Amino acid sequence: MELVVPIFYIMAIGALVSGVMVVVQKNPVISALFLITLMLCLACIYLLLSAEFIAVIQVIVYAGAIMVLFLFVIMLLNLEKESAPLVKGRFQKLAGLVLVLLLVGVLAMTVITTGKQGAAAQTTVDVDTAVSNTVSIGRLLFSRFLLPFEITSVILLIAIIGVILIGKKKI
């Protein structure tokens, strides 16, 4: 049990390093590969947070399906030369950095204040340890979240139709 916290920090550092590499790398293919390692690190963190089903879905859907789609499009576009990987002006770069630092400050303040309030709020217990994580999520999906679950299927259908329409030769 003591191993959980060190593994979390290792995975967190891995996720941060690959996140930085996604932004810094000039080649989009290498960016995509680092995004895959980021998603695998996050899947490990989900496992440590006892969300086994989400971890598996993360590997299959995100690291598998979505990233294969990205790599496929990059391959299809055949990007030999990367034209202008970063924004041109110094001012734009600086403004982006300042805005992001502002965002970091706001988020840090929120995290600190939430941490103070959240320590007292550990009361509700909804998790049944007798059944597995997947069973509980399935039960929730087909009882409390039935309507959103059905709407997601409609969203996927609309996405399929839209992609076929957009992907046609002549628009």
Partner 1 sequence: MIPVSHCLILAAILFSLGVLGVFVRRNVIVIFMCIEMMLNAVNLSFIAFARQNNILDGQVLVLFVMTVAAAEAAIGLAIILALFRKNKTLNVDEINLLKW
Q: Find the binding residues for partner 1 in span 86-115 (CB under 8 A).
A: 86-88, 92-93, 95-97, 99-100, 103-104, 107-108, 110-112, 114-115
Given the structure tokens 């609309």, which residue do they identify? 158
Given the structure tokens 């939430």, which residue do they identify? 114
Q: Which of 37, 53, 56, 59 binds partner 1 (CB under 8 A)?
A: 53
Q: How far is the CB of 32 from partner 1 (least distance, A)?
A: 6
The reply to whether 135 sits near partner 1 by the rule CB under 8 A is: no
Q: One symbol per residue from 29 to 48: x for binding partner 1 (CB under 8 A), - otherwise; what is it?
A: --xx--x--xx--x--xx-x
Number of residues that bind partner 1 (CB under 8 A): 87
Burial class of residue 83, CB neighbours in 10 A (0-12, 13-18, 19+):
exposed
Cβ(58)–Cβ(43) under 8 Å? yes
Which value, in Å, is the radius of gyration of the alpha carbons in the chain? 21
Phi and psi, residue 28, nearest 5°: -60, -30
Q: How far is the CB of 33 from partner 1 (least distance, A)?
A: 11
Of 23 and 130, nearer to partner 1 (C-beta) is 23
Q: How far is the CB of 130 from partner 1 (least distance, A)?
A: 14
Instruction: Write out the binding residues for partner 1, residues 112-131 only, by CB under 8 A.
Output: 112, 114-115, 118, 121-122, 124-127
Of 77 and 130, nearer to partner 1 (C-beta) is 77
Q: Which of 10, 131, 146, 155 binds partner 1 (CB under 8 A)?
A: 155
CA-based nearest residue to 87, from 78, 97, 77: 97
Q: How far is the CB of 114 from partner 1 (least distance, A)?
A: 7
Phi and psi, residue 66, nearest 5°: -65, -45
- Other CB atoms within 10 A of residue 143 CB: 9
Cβ(38)–Cβ(18) under 8 Å? yes
